[in-house]
Structure 1
Amino acid sequence: MKTLLKKTILTAALILLLPLAGIAQESSMKSFWIHEDVVKPSMVMEYETVCKELVSNMKKYNITEADFIVSTLSGSRYLYVGGISNMADLDKKVFSTLAEKMGGDAMSDLFKRMDKCYDIEHDYVIHLDSDLSYMPSGMTQTPEGKNYRKFHYLYITPENRDIVKEKMKAIKALWASKNSKVEYRVYKSGFGTKGEFYMVAVAAKDAVDYAVSAKENQDLLGEEGKKIMGELYKNLLKYEEYVGEMRPDMAYSPSN
Protein backbone atom coordinates (compact mmCIF):
# COMPACT_ATOMS: atom_id res chain seq x y z
CA MET A 1 0.00 0.00 0.00
CA LYS A 2 3.07 2.22 -0.03
CA THR A 3 2.33 3.43 -3.55
CA LEU A 4 -1.07 4.55 -2.36
CA LEU A 5 0.82 7.00 -0.14
CA LYS A 6 3.57 8.10 -2.50
CA LYS A 7 1.40 8.29 -5.65
CA THR A 8 4.05 7.01 -7.98
CA ILE A 9 1.76 7.09 -10.98
CA LEU A 10 2.93 10.36 -12.54
CA THR A 11 0.30 12.84 -13.67
CA ALA A 12 2.36 13.91 -16.65
CA ALA A 13 2.37 10.39 -18.00
CA LEU A 14 -1.34 10.04 -17.43
CA ILE A 15 -2.13 13.22 -19.36
CA LEU A 16 -0.52 11.63 -22.41
CA LEU A 17 -2.89 8.70 -22.00
CA LEU A 18 -6.12 10.66 -21.58
CA PRO A 19 -7.49 9.59 -24.97
CA LEU A 20 -7.34 6.01 -23.72
CA ALA A 21 -9.33 7.03 -20.66
CA GLY A 22 -12.30 8.07 -22.76
CA ILE A 23 -13.86 4.69 -22.18
CA ALA A 24 -14.40 5.68 -18.56
CA GLN A 25 -16.58 8.59 -19.61
CA GLU A 26 -19.15 6.45 -21.38
CA SER A 27 -22.49 6.36 -19.58
CA SER A 28 -22.25 2.59 -19.07
CA MET A 29 -18.79 2.78 -17.51
CA LYS A 30 -17.52 3.63 -14.05
CA SER A 31 -13.79 3.70 -13.38
CA PHE A 32 -11.81 2.37 -10.41
CA TRP A 33 -8.22 2.73 -9.34
CA ILE A 34 -6.82 -0.53 -8.00
CA HIS A 35 -3.82 -0.70 -5.68
CA GLU A 36 -2.62 -4.27 -5.22
CA ASP A 37 -0.16 -5.55 -2.61
CA VAL A 38 1.23 -9.06 -3.00
CA VAL A 39 1.99 -9.92 0.62
CA LYS A 40 4.56 -12.45 1.78
CA PRO A 41 2.66 -15.47 3.16
CA SER A 42 4.64 -15.32 6.41
CA MET A 43 3.71 -11.64 6.90
CA VAL A 44 -0.05 -11.76 6.32
CA MET A 45 -0.98 -11.34 9.99
CA GLU A 46 1.45 -8.44 10.49
CA TYR A 47 0.27 -6.79 7.27
CA GLU A 48 -3.38 -6.94 8.25
CA THR A 49 -2.58 -5.62 11.73
CA VAL A 50 -0.84 -2.57 10.26
CA CYS A 51 -3.56 -1.99 7.66
CA LYS A 52 -6.28 -2.08 10.30
CA GLU A 53 -4.25 0.36 12.39
CA LEU A 54 -4.10 2.67 9.38
CA VAL A 55 -7.85 2.43 8.82
CA SER A 56 -8.46 3.02 12.52
CA ASN A 57 -6.55 6.30 12.31
CA MET A 58 -8.42 7.28 9.17
CA LYS A 59 -11.71 6.73 10.97
CA LYS A 60 -10.47 8.61 14.03
CA TYR A 61 -9.72 11.71 11.97
CA ASN A 62 -12.48 11.12 9.37
CA ILE A 63 -10.18 11.44 6.36
CA THR A 64 -12.37 12.61 3.49
CA GLU A 65 -9.81 12.16 0.69
CA ALA A 66 -10.02 8.36 0.79
CA ASP A 67 -12.85 5.92 0.15
CA PHE A 68 -12.12 2.29 -0.76
CA ILE A 69 -13.22 -1.31 -0.45
CA VAL A 70 -10.80 -4.21 -0.05
CA SER A 71 -10.71 -7.67 -1.54
CA THR A 72 -8.24 -10.48 -0.93
CA LEU A 73 -7.37 -13.03 -3.60
CA SER A 74 -5.63 -16.38 -3.42
CA GLY A 75 -1.88 -15.91 -3.36
CA SER A 76 -1.97 -13.33 -0.54
CA ARG A 77 -3.05 -10.55 -2.90
CA TYR A 78 -4.81 -7.52 -1.37
CA LEU A 79 -6.74 -5.22 -3.70
CA TYR A 80 -7.76 -1.71 -2.62
CA VAL A 81 -10.54 -0.44 -4.90
CA GLY A 82 -11.54 3.21 -5.09
CA GLY A 83 -13.77 5.03 -7.58
CA ILE A 84 -12.32 7.79 -9.78
CA SER A 85 -14.07 10.39 -11.91
CA ASN A 86 -11.13 10.96 -14.24
CA MET A 87 -7.41 10.28 -14.55
CA ALA A 88 -6.55 13.48 -12.68
CA ASP A 89 -7.99 11.89 -9.51
CA LEU A 90 -4.90 9.68 -9.42
CA ASP A 91 -2.80 12.69 -8.41
CA LYS A 92 -4.78 13.48 -5.27
CA LYS A 93 -2.75 13.44 -2.06
CA VAL A 94 -4.77 10.78 -0.31
CA PHE A 95 -2.90 10.82 2.99
CA SER A 96 -1.82 14.46 3.34
CA THR A 97 -4.51 15.27 5.93
CA LEU A 98 -3.81 12.06 7.84
CA ALA A 99 -0.11 12.96 8.01
CA GLU A 100 -1.04 16.32 9.52
CA LYS A 101 -3.39 14.75 12.06
CA MET A 102 -1.20 11.79 13.07
CA GLY A 103 2.14 13.49 12.62
CA GLY A 104 4.45 12.75 9.71
CA ASP A 105 6.82 10.55 11.71
CA ALA A 106 4.02 8.40 13.15
CA MET A 107 2.50 7.77 9.73
CA SER A 108 5.90 7.14 8.17
CA ASP A 109 6.70 4.55 10.82
CA LEU A 110 3.38 2.84 10.16
CA PHE A 111 4.14 2.56 6.45
CA LYS A 112 7.67 1.31 7.13
CA ARG A 113 6.14 -1.55 9.11
CA MET A 114 3.83 -2.24 6.18
CA ASP A 115 6.65 -2.17 3.63
CA LYS A 116 8.33 -5.14 5.29
CA CYS A 117 5.31 -7.29 4.49
CA TYR A 118 5.55 -7.35 0.69
CA ASP A 119 7.97 -6.99 -2.20
CA ILE A 120 5.49 -6.50 -5.05
CA GLU A 121 2.76 -3.89 -5.56
CA HIS A 122 0.77 -2.75 -8.60
CA ASP A 123 -1.45 0.18 -9.54
CA TYR A 124 -3.90 0.11 -12.42
CA VAL A 125 -7.34 1.22 -13.60
CA ILE A 126 -10.35 -0.91 -14.49
CA HIS A 127 -13.82 0.08 -15.72
CA LEU A 128 -17.12 -1.40 -14.55
CA ASP A 129 -19.25 -2.06 -17.64
CA SER A 130 -22.91 -2.02 -16.67
CA ASP A 131 -24.00 -2.89 -20.23
CA LEU A 132 -22.25 -6.27 -20.00
CA SER A 133 -22.97 -6.86 -16.30
CA TYR A 134 -26.03 -8.79 -15.15
CA MET A 135 -27.44 -7.53 -11.86
CA PRO A 136 -31.25 -7.29 -12.07
CA SER A 137 -31.47 -6.77 -8.29
CA GLY A 138 -29.43 -3.55 -8.59
CA MET A 139 -25.82 -2.72 -9.31
CA THR A 140 -23.53 -2.98 -6.28
CA GLN A 141 -19.99 -4.19 -5.69
CA THR A 142 -20.85 -5.40 -2.21
CA PRO A 143 -24.08 -7.45 -2.13
CA GLU A 144 -25.19 -7.83 1.48
CA GLY A 145 -24.20 -11.11 3.11
CA LYS A 146 -22.10 -12.17 0.11
CA ASN A 147 -18.41 -11.62 0.81
CA TYR A 148 -17.17 -14.69 -1.07
CA ARG A 149 -15.95 -13.92 -4.59
CA LYS A 150 -14.99 -15.80 -7.72
CA PHE A 151 -13.06 -13.68 -10.22
CA HIS A 152 -12.96 -14.88 -13.84
CA TYR A 153 -10.33 -13.20 -16.05
CA LEU A 154 -11.03 -13.42 -19.79
CA TYR A 155 -7.94 -12.29 -21.71
CA ILE A 156 -8.44 -11.03 -25.25
CA THR A 157 -6.48 -9.62 -28.17
CA PRO A 158 -7.23 -6.65 -30.45
CA GLU A 159 -8.15 -9.13 -33.16
CA ASN A 160 -10.89 -10.87 -31.18
CA ARG A 161 -11.99 -7.94 -29.02
CA ASP A 162 -15.24 -7.31 -30.89
CA ILE A 163 -16.39 -10.92 -31.11
CA VAL A 164 -15.70 -11.53 -27.41
CA LYS A 165 -17.80 -8.50 -26.53
CA GLU A 166 -20.63 -9.76 -28.74
CA LYS A 167 -20.51 -13.18 -27.07
CA MET A 168 -20.66 -11.53 -23.64
CA LYS A 169 -23.72 -9.55 -24.72
CA ALA A 170 -25.33 -12.78 -25.88
CA ILE A 171 -24.55 -14.44 -22.54
CA LYS A 172 -26.21 -11.60 -20.65
CA ALA A 173 -29.26 -11.83 -22.92
CA LEU A 174 -29.51 -15.58 -22.25
CA TRP A 175 -29.15 -15.05 -18.47
CA ALA A 176 -31.96 -12.48 -18.62
CA SER A 177 -34.24 -14.64 -20.79
CA LYS A 178 -33.90 -17.52 -18.33
CA ASN A 179 -34.32 -15.22 -15.31
CA SER A 180 -31.04 -16.50 -13.88
CA LYS A 181 -30.43 -15.96 -10.17
CA VAL A 182 -26.65 -15.80 -10.64
CA GLU A 183 -25.66 -12.16 -10.92
CA TYR A 184 -22.28 -10.87 -12.06
CA ARG A 185 -20.37 -7.69 -12.74
CA VAL A 186 -18.05 -7.20 -15.71
CA TYR A 187 -14.96 -5.00 -15.56
CA LYS A 188 -12.80 -3.97 -18.54
CA SER A 189 -9.05 -3.58 -18.20
CA GLY A 190 -7.66 -0.06 -18.39
CA PHE A 191 -4.45 1.90 -17.84
CA GLY A 192 -1.66 -0.09 -16.19
CA THR A 193 -3.16 -3.59 -16.43
CA LYS A 194 -1.16 -6.59 -17.56
CA GLY A 195 -2.80 -7.28 -20.88
CA GLU A 196 -6.33 -6.66 -22.08
CA PHE A 197 -9.12 -8.53 -20.35
CA TYR A 198 -12.64 -8.64 -19.02
CA MET A 199 -12.94 -9.58 -15.36
CA VAL A 200 -16.22 -11.16 -14.29
CA ALA A 201 -16.91 -10.97 -10.54
CA VAL A 202 -19.49 -13.29 -8.98
CA ALA A 203 -20.56 -12.90 -5.33
CA ALA A 204 -21.81 -15.66 -3.02
CA LYS A 205 -22.19 -16.37 0.69
CA ASP A 206 -19.38 -18.92 0.66
CA ALA A 207 -17.77 -21.59 -1.52
CA VAL A 208 -20.67 -24.02 -1.03
CA ASP A 209 -23.25 -21.39 -1.94
CA TYR A 210 -21.26 -20.55 -5.07
CA ALA A 211 -20.98 -24.19 -6.14
CA VAL A 212 -24.70 -24.85 -5.61
CA SER A 213 -25.73 -21.69 -7.46
CA ALA A 214 -23.37 -22.44 -10.34
CA LYS A 215 -24.78 -25.95 -10.75
CA GLU A 216 -28.38 -24.73 -10.63
CA ASN A 217 -27.54 -22.05 -13.19
CA GLN A 218 -25.85 -24.56 -15.47
CA ASP A 219 -28.97 -26.75 -15.37
CA LEU A 220 -31.17 -23.72 -16.03
CA LEU A 221 -29.22 -22.62 -19.11
CA GLY A 222 -28.94 -26.14 -20.49
CA GLU A 223 -27.36 -26.91 -23.85
CA GLU A 224 -27.88 -23.35 -25.07
CA GLY A 225 -25.73 -22.11 -22.21
CA LYS A 226 -22.98 -24.65 -22.88
CA LYS A 227 -22.91 -23.69 -26.55
CA ILE A 228 -22.62 -19.96 -26.04
CA MET A 229 -20.03 -20.32 -23.27
CA GLY A 230 -18.00 -22.58 -25.54
CA GLU A 231 -18.12 -19.96 -28.29
CA LEU A 232 -16.86 -17.37 -25.85
CA TYR A 233 -13.97 -19.45 -24.50
CA LYS A 234 -12.69 -20.50 -27.91
CA ASN A 235 -12.14 -16.82 -28.76
CA LEU A 236 -10.14 -16.02 -25.62
CA LEU A 237 -6.38 -15.62 -25.49
CA LYS A 238 -6.41 -17.25 -22.05
CA TYR A 239 -8.61 -17.72 -18.99
CA GLU A 240 -7.75 -17.43 -15.29
CA GLU A 241 -9.90 -17.96 -12.22
CA TYR A 242 -9.26 -16.72 -8.67
CA VAL A 243 -11.05 -17.20 -5.37
CA GLY A 244 -11.46 -14.02 -3.36
CA GLU A 245 -13.14 -12.49 -0.33
CA MET A 246 -14.37 -9.01 0.45
CA ARG A 247 -12.81 -7.52 3.58
CA PRO A 248 -15.13 -4.93 5.13
CA ASP A 249 -12.87 -4.96 8.21
CA MET A 250 -10.11 -3.39 6.10
CA ALA A 251 -12.25 -1.04 3.99
CA TYR A 252 -12.74 2.68 4.61
CA SER A 253 -15.36 5.35 3.90
CA PRO A 254 -15.56 8.80 5.53
CA SER A 255 -18.48 9.28 7.87
CA ASN A 256 -19.89 12.20 5.85
Structure 2
Amino acid sequence: MFLIHQDNVKPSKAMEYETIAKEFNDASIAHNVQTQWITAVRDDFTYYYITPIKNMAELDEDPMEDMAKAMGDKFGEMFERFNKCYDSHGSYLMRSVDALSYKAPEGTDMSDQNYRVWFMMHYKPKNAAKMKEGMKAVKELFESKGSKEYYNVYHTALGTMDNYYLVSIPAKDEIDSATRSKANQDVLGPDRYKTFNKVINYTEKMEEFRGKMRPDLSYSPKE
Protein backbone atom coordinates (compact mmCIF):
# COMPACT_ATOMS: atom_id res chain seq x y z
CA MET A 1 0.00 0.00 0.00
CA PHE A 2 1.11 3.57 -0.61
CA LEU A 3 0.43 6.85 1.15
CA ILE A 4 0.16 9.53 -1.52
CA HIS A 5 0.54 13.21 -0.70
CA GLN A 6 -0.56 15.41 -3.59
CA ASP A 7 0.32 19.10 -4.01
CA ASN A 8 -1.57 20.95 -6.76
CA VAL A 9 1.05 23.61 -7.36
CA LYS A 10 0.13 26.86 -9.07
CA PRO A 11 2.13 27.28 -12.32
CA SER A 12 3.21 30.76 -11.26
CA LYS A 13 4.71 29.29 -8.08
CA ALA A 14 6.42 26.25 -9.60
CA MET A 15 9.97 27.62 -9.41
CA GLU A 16 9.50 28.78 -5.81
CA TYR A 17 7.98 25.42 -4.89
CA GLU A 18 10.93 23.56 -6.41
CA THR A 19 13.34 25.61 -4.31
CA ILE A 20 11.47 24.84 -1.09
CA ALA A 21 11.09 21.15 -1.98
CA LYS A 22 14.85 20.85 -2.44
CA GLU A 23 15.41 22.60 0.90
CA PHE A 24 13.02 20.14 2.52
CA ASN A 25 14.87 17.19 0.99
CA ASP A 26 18.20 18.57 2.20
CA ALA A 27 16.79 18.99 5.72
CA SER A 28 15.44 15.43 5.66
CA ILE A 29 18.87 14.13 4.68
CA ALA A 30 20.58 16.20 7.38
CA HIS A 31 18.22 14.88 10.08
CA ASN A 32 18.05 11.36 8.62
CA VAL A 33 14.25 11.27 8.79
CA GLN A 34 13.02 7.69 9.26
CA THR A 35 10.65 7.46 6.34
CA GLN A 36 10.94 7.42 2.57
CA TRP A 37 9.17 8.69 -0.49
CA ILE A 38 9.36 8.65 -4.27
CA THR A 39 8.42 11.86 -6.03
CA ALA A 40 6.55 12.20 -9.31
CA VAL A 41 5.56 15.39 -11.12
CA ARG A 42 2.91 15.79 -13.78
CA ASP A 43 3.29 18.28 -16.61
CA ASP A 44 0.49 20.35 -15.06
CA PHE A 45 2.61 20.94 -11.91
CA THR A 46 0.88 18.33 -9.75
CA TYR A 47 3.43 16.83 -7.36
CA TYR A 48 3.09 13.39 -5.78
CA TYR A 49 5.07 12.13 -2.79
CA ILE A 50 4.63 8.36 -2.62
CA THR A 51 5.47 6.54 0.61
CA PRO A 52 5.16 2.75 0.91
CA ILE A 53 3.44 1.61 4.12
CA LYS A 54 2.95 -1.89 5.52
CA ASN A 55 -0.33 -1.27 7.32
CA MET A 56 -2.75 1.39 8.53
CA ALA A 57 -1.03 1.56 11.93
CA GLU A 58 1.87 3.40 10.30
CA LEU A 59 -0.45 6.35 9.72
CA ASP A 60 -0.36 7.00 13.49
CA GLU A 61 3.38 7.60 13.36
CA ASP A 62 4.94 11.03 12.83
CA PRO A 63 8.36 10.51 11.20
CA MET A 64 8.88 14.28 11.01
CA GLU A 65 8.53 14.84 14.76
CA ASP A 66 12.23 14.77 15.63
CA MET A 67 13.18 16.95 12.68
CA ALA A 68 10.47 19.47 13.59
CA LYS A 69 11.79 19.71 17.15
CA ALA A 70 15.38 20.06 15.99
CA MET A 71 14.58 22.75 13.41
CA GLY A 72 12.25 24.72 15.67
CA ASP A 73 10.52 27.66 13.99
CA LYS A 74 12.33 27.01 10.70
CA PHE A 75 10.29 23.82 10.21
CA GLY A 76 6.96 25.63 10.44
CA GLU A 77 8.22 28.51 8.32
CA MET A 78 9.18 26.08 5.57
CA PHE A 79 5.61 24.76 5.39
CA GLU A 80 4.19 28.27 5.49
CA ARG A 81 6.22 28.94 2.35
CA PHE A 82 4.94 25.69 0.82
CA ASN A 83 1.34 26.73 1.51
CA LYS A 84 1.73 29.85 -0.61
CA CYS A 85 2.50 27.69 -3.66
CA TYR A 86 -0.81 25.82 -3.88
CA ASP A 87 -4.48 26.33 -3.11
CA SER A 88 -5.22 22.65 -2.50
CA HIS A 89 -3.36 19.56 -1.37
CA GLY A 90 -4.12 16.35 0.48
CA SER A 91 -3.28 12.72 1.18
CA TYR A 92 -4.88 9.37 0.37
CA LEU A 93 -4.01 5.69 0.02
CA MET A 94 -3.54 3.57 -3.09
CA ARG A 95 -2.56 -0.06 -3.51
CA SER A 96 -0.51 -1.84 -6.13
CA VAL A 97 -2.44 -4.43 -8.14
CA ASP A 98 0.27 -6.79 -9.31
CA ALA A 99 -2.24 -9.33 -10.63
CA LEU A 100 -3.38 -6.80 -13.24
CA SER A 101 0.03 -5.26 -13.97
CA TYR A 102 2.12 -6.21 -16.99
CA LYS A 103 5.57 -5.86 -15.51
CA ALA A 104 8.96 -5.89 -17.18
CA PRO A 105 10.85 -9.18 -16.75
CA GLU A 106 12.69 -9.48 -13.46
CA GLY A 107 16.17 -8.00 -13.70
CA THR A 108 15.26 -5.44 -16.39
CA ASP A 109 17.16 -2.19 -15.85
CA MET A 110 14.54 0.57 -15.56
CA SER A 111 16.86 3.17 -14.03
CA ASP A 112 16.82 5.38 -17.14
CA GLN A 113 13.03 5.22 -17.58
CA ASN A 114 11.76 8.12 -15.50
CA TYR A 115 9.26 9.47 -18.02
CA ARG A 116 5.66 8.45 -17.33
CA VAL A 117 2.27 8.30 -18.99
CA TRP A 118 -0.55 7.85 -16.49
CA PHE A 119 -4.12 6.81 -17.25
CA MET A 120 -6.81 7.21 -14.59
CA MET A 121 -9.92 5.17 -15.34
CA HIS A 122 -12.84 6.07 -13.09
CA TYR A 123 -15.79 3.72 -12.73
CA LYS A 124 -18.98 3.26 -10.73
CA PRO A 125 -18.90 0.82 -7.78
CA LYS A 126 -21.54 -1.38 -9.43
CA ASN A 127 -19.11 -2.02 -12.30
CA ALA A 128 -16.12 -3.03 -10.15
CA ALA A 129 -16.20 -6.70 -11.18
CA LYS A 130 -16.55 -5.86 -14.89
CA MET A 131 -13.66 -3.40 -14.73
CA LYS A 132 -11.45 -5.99 -13.06
CA GLU A 133 -12.36 -8.56 -15.71
CA GLY A 134 -11.54 -6.05 -18.43
CA MET A 135 -8.19 -5.14 -16.90
CA LYS A 136 -7.35 -8.84 -16.66
CA ALA A 137 -8.25 -9.33 -20.33
CA VAL A 138 -5.94 -6.48 -21.35
CA LYS A 139 -3.04 -8.02 -19.44
CA GLU A 140 -3.69 -11.40 -21.05
CA LEU A 141 -3.67 -9.78 -24.49
CA PHE A 142 -0.31 -8.11 -23.80
CA GLU A 143 1.10 -11.42 -22.56
CA SER A 144 -0.19 -13.44 -25.50
CA LYS A 145 1.25 -10.97 -28.02
CA GLY A 146 4.59 -10.60 -26.23
CA SER A 147 4.22 -6.84 -25.90
CA LYS A 148 7.30 -4.84 -24.90
CA GLU A 149 5.28 -1.97 -23.43
CA TYR A 150 5.08 -2.67 -19.73
CA TYR A 151 2.83 -1.04 -17.15
CA ASN A 152 1.97 -1.06 -13.46
CA VAL A 153 -1.58 -0.88 -12.15
CA TYR A 154 -2.72 0.80 -8.94
CA HIS A 155 -6.15 1.22 -7.38
CA THR A 156 -7.68 3.64 -4.91
CA ALA A 157 -7.78 2.33 -1.34
CA LEU A 158 -8.85 5.10 1.07
CA GLY A 159 -9.42 8.83 1.01
CA THR A 160 -10.79 9.32 -2.52
CA MET A 161 -14.45 9.72 -3.43
CA ASP A 162 -14.04 8.06 -6.84
CA ASN A 163 -13.02 4.49 -7.59
CA TYR A 164 -10.35 4.34 -10.26
CA TYR A 165 -7.48 2.36 -11.66
CA LEU A 166 -4.21 4.15 -12.31
CA VAL A 167 -2.07 2.68 -15.09
CA SER A 168 1.54 3.86 -15.09
CA ILE A 169 3.61 3.36 -18.26
CA PRO A 170 7.37 4.06 -18.08
CA ALA A 171 9.66 5.26 -20.86
CA LYS A 172 12.97 7.08 -21.29
CA ASP A 173 11.40 10.27 -22.61
CA GLU A 174 8.48 11.58 -24.64
CA ILE A 175 9.91 10.34 -27.95
CA ASP A 176 10.62 6.89 -26.55
CA SER A 177 7.08 6.76 -25.15
CA ALA A 178 5.51 7.61 -28.51
CA THR A 179 7.76 5.13 -30.34
CA ARG A 180 6.89 2.31 -27.94
CA SER A 181 3.19 3.11 -28.10
CA LYS A 182 3.17 2.91 -31.91
CA ALA A 183 5.17 -0.32 -31.89
CA ASN A 184 2.78 -1.76 -29.31
CA GLN A 185 -0.23 -0.98 -31.49
CA ASP A 186 1.37 -2.99 -34.29
CA VAL A 187 2.16 -5.88 -31.94
CA LEU A 188 -1.33 -6.05 -30.45
CA GLY A 189 -3.01 -5.68 -33.82
CA PRO A 190 -6.74 -5.16 -34.40
CA ASP A 191 -7.58 -7.48 -31.48
CA ARG A 192 -6.77 -4.63 -29.13
CA TYR A 193 -9.97 -2.71 -29.87
CA LYS A 194 -12.30 -5.49 -28.74
CA THR A 195 -10.20 -6.13 -25.63
CA PHE A 196 -9.79 -2.47 -24.67
CA ASN A 197 -13.56 -2.03 -24.94
CA LYS A 198 -13.96 -4.48 -22.07
CA VAL A 199 -12.51 -1.71 -19.91
CA ILE A 200 -13.72 1.38 -21.76
CA ASN A 201 -17.37 0.23 -21.76
CA TYR A 202 -17.41 0.49 -17.96
CA THR A 203 -15.20 3.58 -17.62
CA GLU A 204 -17.10 6.70 -16.57
CA LYS A 205 -14.17 9.06 -17.06
CA MET A 206 -10.66 8.59 -18.41
CA GLU A 207 -7.85 11.03 -17.71
CA GLU A 208 -4.41 10.98 -19.30
CA PHE A 209 -1.44 12.72 -17.73
CA ARG A 210 2.24 12.89 -18.56
CA GLY A 211 5.18 13.68 -16.37
CA LYS A 212 8.24 12.13 -14.82
CA MET A 213 9.68 10.60 -11.72
CA ARG A 214 11.96 12.90 -9.77
CA PRO A 215 14.83 11.03 -8.08
CA ASP A 216 16.28 14.40 -7.04
CA LEU A 217 13.21 15.09 -4.90
CA SER A 218 12.87 11.51 -3.62
CA TYR A 219 14.23 10.42 -0.26
CA SER A 220 15.27 7.38 1.74
CA PRO A 221 17.10 7.37 5.10
CA LYS A 222 20.64 6.23 5.72
CA GLU A 223 20.94 2.66 6.91
TM-score by length of 2: 0.95
Pairing of 1:150-165 with structure 2 (within 5 A): 150-165=117-132
RMSD: 1.6
Q: How many residues align?
A: 223
Cα displacement (A) at 1:194: 3.4
1:131 counterpart SS class: helix
How far apart in 2 are the matches of 1:215 and 1:194? 34
Partner of 1:242: 209
Q: Give every structure 1 segment of 4 or more consecutive aligned residues whose post-TM-superposition deviation is greater than 3 Å.
A: none
How far apart in 1 are the matches of 2:114 and 2:130? 32
How far apart in 2 are the matches of 1:115 and 1:213? 39
Pairing of 1:197-208 with structure 2 (within 5 A): 197-208=164-175
Q: Which amino acid aligns with 1:120?
A: S
How far apart in 1 are the matches of 2:117 and 2:160? 19
Q: Which of the residues 58, 61, 64 maps onto 1:92?
A: 61
% of aligned pairs identical? 38
Pairing of 1:132-143 with structure 2 (within 5 A): 132-138=100-106, 143=110
Q: Which amino acid aligns with 2:40?
A: S
Q: Which amino acid aligns with 1:53?
A: E
Partner of 1:111: 79
Q: Which of the residues 76, 83, 103 maps onto 2:45?
A: 76
Question: Where do 5+ consecutive residues of structure 1 fail to align?
Answer: 1-30
Question: Where do 5+ consecutive residues of structure 2 fail to align?
Answer: none
Cα displacement (A) at 1:183: 0.5
Q: What whole-Å deviation, never above 9, does each CA across 1:170-206 have from its counterpart, x for those lacking one? A: 1111111111111100001111113000000000011
Partner of 1:196: 163
Partner of 1:228: 195
Cα displacement (A) at 1:55: 0.6
Q: What whole-Å deviation, never above 9, does each CA across 1:8-56 have from its counterpart, x for those lacking one? A: xxxxxxxxxxxxxxxxxxxxxxx10000011111111111101111110
Deviates more, 1:130-139 or 1:48-57: 130-139
Partner of 2:97: 129
Is 1:48 matched with 2:25? Answer: no
How far apart in 2 are the matches of 1:138 and 1:97? 38
